[in-house]
Each structure stands twice: as structure tokens, then as C-alpha cells.
Amino acid sequence: MEEERKAERKRKRFAARLKSSKGIVCIETAGPNIVVCNAGQATGFEKDSVTNLINEYSLDMQSPKFIAEKGESHAFLVFRNTENAVSFFNACHGKAKADKNGTLMYLNYDDEKLFIELFDWTSEDSSNLKNRQVKHYGYEFRYGTNDVELNNPLSEKIPLECDVLWKRLEEQGFTLGRPDQLTVNKYSPGNGMNDFYENLVAVVNGGCDPTIDLCFDVIVMDWRHRSGKNVPVMVPARSMLMMQGEASTTDPVVEYRTGGDGQTLKIITADTRQRQTRISLTFSAAGTVQTELEDSVASHLEELHVHQRSGPCECGFKALCDSAGGTVQTELEDSVASHLEELHVHQRSGPCECGFKALCDSAGGTVQMELEDSVASHLEELHVHQCAAHSRGVSAADRVRLDVLRAPLRDACADIAGERSSGLLSECAAHSRGVPAADRVRLDVLRAPLRDACADVVICIAVIHHMSTKSRSNYLSKNKVATENAQVNVNGVNLHIHENRTQFQHKDLLVPWKLNAKTDKLTKCDKKLPKSDTKVSDSDNRVSRSDKNVSSDELVADNTLLRFYHVFEEGELDELCREVGFQIESNFYEEGNWCVICKKL
């Protein structure tokens, strides 16, 4: 009993000493990390010593990870799990001899030391932003655009040591899954976070965006709502902040920032405290960002921005939608949405017809030019054919297929190619020159200006996956263009994922596309690219998924487009066709696309 009390007294004394001299915070609850309080490199305590102790006490475990700083008389042991740490603690604390002199070893559980060891780098390994140091794991968080560089995963993944966090959270009932992106920020004393917005795409992950603060002291996060309301939230040291749902998705509504630039920080009680070094870990599930859009944002955005803008909004973001008493939504429907749709989905020809001159003109009109070049090549197209099937190419793959189709049919049919984009239409015109009965009409696929039952064959390529759920079925069910018994060929997904073929776990997503311009061209240009420099000959290559070569954040911001895609599952397209009364004749999967050939009954 006496020895136990002595051990406990010593433990507390060492804990206090470690905290005051080294800033190492010991905790009362057991964890996988143990700090050896009175033995370390300076006292000749080595990894072998630990192994010997494990053998001496017949402990059934692997040797822990051993961390000892030079010249220090303490050391850290990182066990595989808490049980091992507890066994070691119980066996050795106050009993085991730390050296040949017979000094008893005293232990404490340590927590964030591990993380500080992991993340307290010197400035050489990290990029220095103003007032702080930053390091990325998994994927790079781009500060220029506030999103994540999804196409270029970093070689350095989130350290496995972080896994303990998810396990611990799960024990508390929070199932987050496993994040794959981590941004570590190290703030020197007196430096706060700047005003900080995270881009919708980067933040949305359906679950949570846990931020873990390894500050040794409290910080204050000052949340500001768009309405002007301020909510300061005190975040204790070693705490985790999780943002979910609207908080994490409606970024312009909630912005968070901490502190000012001063040396002291005002806390609500009007106390002032000296600020200390703060390390902040922000995890997110970057790789699944695009896929996670489905349930929450995608349907909302897509409802508002893409096609189906009639009827009440069905999104789950009532606070945002209703915040202006429903008028936000209405405004979006009527004005912003069509502008955004023009920008993000449809190609524009001629001057922009939106009412948003300030927005349009703020980029000196070049946004429009650039968009025309980029969006032009890939948007919606509908092929309505009379008499027999064939058409002009869309992408290289389509072109090959259509050329095959065309050869025997080129003189035997009349075809009308319907297309939203004037860029594609002029390309189509060049491509079908010499085909006697080929013609082109600029149209909206959902409002085809064609007589009922005029087509014997309808081919729909690379269109339907850009439509919302409602639009998809509307398009098919209200399609009166086809005659009875007409063959309807519907092509479902066309993601144009080239070398970097991605597995999509969810069905609706916004895919960032960016102008594929040559680096040497870009380096010469300011951020407003002259039209001639952005042209790439092949339509399929005009827009490609984000390209690492384009490094300037400003360029990224200007040239990145978010395009809505619905990814069809096996059988989904067939089911859709069946639902609207088509009879499936055949289906196949080719180059990332589902294709269905069906008959209108």
C-alpha cells in the first residue's frame, strides 16, 4: 500500500513537472501512449531496455514504438493498443528498474505527444503560408480555390497513428469512416487562422469534417453567419470539432476564424491569455467528396442549376433554402440558376444573355470566351434521326463507333443532329459535310422542337447522365419524337475518365473540369487567357479533368468548371427505359458507358 501511494505521488509529480518544463500533458485515462517520466536517452534508457522489461515481466506483446529525444530524461512508448499499454503500465509503474542503479521507473499515459511528434515539423518539410506552416497528407488542399486536388494523390498518406482517433470516436458512438485527406496547420503563438472559407466540394463529405486541435490552451473560433450574427465558440485544448450537414456545406453562410493578430486572445469571460503554439489537424474524406455529393448537395445544386427547375426544391437544405422565406430558391430558379446553367452546363454563343453583367464583366468578358472554348465541346447532345441511324462524332470513342455506323448508311438516311452547343454543331457540320441528308438544329433536348413521331431512330449519346432524376425520366417518357416501333439508342454514362479511371461510389456528382492548356502557353499568359491559347484541336481534349500542369491557383479558379454527372449503375438505364414503356432489345457496356438499344412500343 505504501509503495502504491508512493508510486502514485511520484507519478503526479512527474506529470506536473513534464507539463511545466516540456509542455507534455499527461492524462488520467489509459491510452496506447506511455511516457516514461524518469528515464530517457540521457539516462541510457533504450529500446532494448523496454524489450527486456517486456520479457522480464512475461508480457505478451510486441515491443512498443520507442521515442526518445536526445539529452532528455523521459521517453515515449507507443503501444499497439491500449490493452498492451495498460499491461505494461500495471507491470512496470513504480516497480520496474529503469537503470542499473535500481531507480524505479515511473510512467504516465500521454496523449497528444504522439501527434506532436508526428506533426511538429520544422519549416523545411512544409510550406509556409502567412503566419503558419502547413502540411498535407493524402491529397493537397489548394488554398487558391479552397478545394482538394483530387487527381493527384500525395505519396504521403495520413499517418497510421491517426487511426487511433477513429477507433476512439467509434467507441463514443461517432462513426466517421476513414478520412483520406489531412491538412495540418501549425500556428505560432499570436497567429490566428485567417478568415477561412472552404469550398463546397472540398468540405462536403456527407459525414463530418473533424478538426483536432492540439493547442495547449483554449482557442476561440468566431463563427459568423451571413446574416451578421456572430457566434464565438470556445474550443478547449485537445478537442475535436466536427462540422456536419449544412455547417460543412453552406460555406458562404458559415465561416469560421479564430482570433485576431494580437498576442492575446479575448475569451468570453474577458480573461486574456497568452497564446501558445497550436497545431490543427483537419481531416476530410477527399477521395469520396465527389461521390458523396449525391444525397446532399448534388440533388440540390442539380435541381437548382441544371435542368429541372419546376416545382418545389426537394433538397434537404431547408435552412438555406428557407432562410430567405423561400425567395432564395425562387431567385436561384429564375436568375442565378439559368446563369449558372449557362456557365456550367450549356455552351453560350454570342454575348451572354444573363442579367448578371457585373459578374460577367468582372472577368472582362473572358470568362465567356474561355467557357465557350471549353464547355463547347462536351455538353448535351441529342440525335434525332429520320429513317436510319447515324450521326456525327462526339468524343473520339463515339466518333469511331459512329463512323462504323455511318459507312453503310451514309446515303440511305436523313438525319437531324440536335445539339445544345453551337461549338459542337459547327464541328458536326464539318464532320457531316458530303452526307446528303444530314442536318443540324440547335435545341434543348428536353424541349425538342420536332414533330411528334417523325423519327424512326433516336440516338441519345452523352446526354442523359447530365440530367437530374426527374429530367431523365421526363426526357424519355415525353419523347414523342420517335415513331412507334422506332429504335431508341440511349447511352448512359460518359465520364471521359481517361488514364485516371476512377471508381465512383455514388451516383450523382460534380466533376471538376478544367481547360487543358499547355504549360508553356500558360506561363506566358496572365490569368485571362486569350482565346487562341486555349484552343486544342480535338474536341474530346478541349476539356479534360484537372491537369496537374496548370499550377496557378488563379488559373485553376478561372478555368475549373463543375459539371453534373449521374453515374448509372448496371441495369439502371434499362430500368429507366422500361419504366417509360420501351422494350429493351439489347444492352452493353463500353468504354465506361452503358448503352441500351430499345424499341418504343
Q: Give residues in contact with another protein (CB under 8 A).
A: 309, 334, 338, 349, 353, 386-387, 411-414, 416, 420, 422, 425-426, 429, 434, 436-437, 439-444, 447-451, 454
Distance of closest approach, residue 392 Cβ to another protein, in angstroms? 13
- As measured in angstroms, the least distance from the Cβ of 542 to another protein is 20
Please report how close the Cβ of residue 406 comes to another protein at its closest, in angstroms: 14
Q: Any residues with CB less than 8 A from the CB of 83 and at least 6 apart, and which? A: none
Match 479511371 to its residue by C-alpha cell. 501
In a 13 Å sphere around the CA of 570, the CA atoms on its Cβ side amount to 3
Residue showing cell 421526363: 474
Q: Quick one: cell of 256?
A: 469560421
Strand order through the sheet with 211-213: 127-129, 132-137, 181-187, 278-284, 211-213, 239-241
3-state secondary structure string across 562-583: EEEEECCCCCHHHHHHHHCCEE
DSSP alpha helix (H) spans, 254-298 = 289-292
CA distance 239 to 212: 6
Q: Provide the residue type at 346 as one letter.
A: H
Q: In the Cβ-directed half-sphere of 574, how many Cα atoms lie within 13 Å?
A: 10
Q: Pick the closer one to another protein by CB: 325 or 434.
A: 434
Compute CA 239 distance to the chain's CA centroid, rounded to the nearest angstrom.
24
Chain position carrying cell 503500465 = 89
Least gap, CB of 396 to another protein (angstroms): 23
Q: Which is nearer to another protein, 77 or 416 (CB)?
A: 416
Contact criterion met (CB below 8 Å) for 210 and 162:
no
Q: 219 vs 425, which CB is nearer to another protein?
A: 425
**Taking the CA atoms of the chain, what radius of gyration do you get in angstroms?**
31
Residue 84 or 347 with smaller CB distance to another protein: 347
Specify the residue, 420 or 514, whose C-beta has the smaller distance to another protein.
420
Beta-carbon contacts of 425 under 8 Å, excluding residues fewer than 6 positions away, are: 417, 419, 440, 442
Q: Please, which residue, 74 or 440, has the CB nearer to another protein?
A: 440
User: Which of residues 107 and 486 has its CB atom nearest to another protein in the complex?
Assistant: 486
Minimum distance, C-beta of residue 299 to another protein, in the bound complex (Å): 20
Q: What is the DSSP letter of 41?
A: G
Task: Identify which of residues 344 and 401 has a Cβ nearer to another protein in the complex.
Answer: 344
Minimum distance from residue 427 beta carbon to another protein (Å) = 12
Residue with cell 448512359: 492
| Shortest CB 582 distance to another protein, Å | 21
Residue (346 or 465) nearer to another protein, CB:
346
**Least CB distance from residue 479 to another protein, whole Å?**
13
Residues 6+ apart with CB under 8 A from 180: 138, 139, 157, 158, 285, 286, 287, 288
Shortest gap between Cβ of 416 and another protein (angstroms)? 5
By beta-carbon proximity to another protein, the closer residue of 411 and 484 is 411
Of 181 and 391, nearer to another protein (C-beta) is 391
- Least distance from another protein to the Cβ atom of residue 465, Å: 21
Nearer to another protein, 113 or 348 (CB): 348
How far is Cα 256 from Cα 198, in angstroms, rounded to an integer? 10
Measure the CA–CA gap between 183 and 370, rounded to whole angstroms. 32
Smaller CB distance to another protein: residue 281 or 450? Answer: 450
DSSP state of 10: H
Task: Calculate the alpha carbon distances from 175 to 162, 296, 553 in Å.
Answer: 15, 18, 34
**Smallest distance from another protein to CB 460, Å:** 17
Output DSSP code: residue 64.
Answer: P
* Amino acid at residue number 384: V
HSE (side-chain half, CA atoms, 13 Å) at 218: 16
Cell of residue 177, nine digits: 469512416
Closest separation between CB of residue 384 and another protein, Å? 8
Smallest distance from another protein to CB 387, Å: 6
Q: Is 269 exposed, middle or buried (0-12, 13-18, 19+ CB in 10 A)?
A: exposed
Beta bridge partners of 104: 97
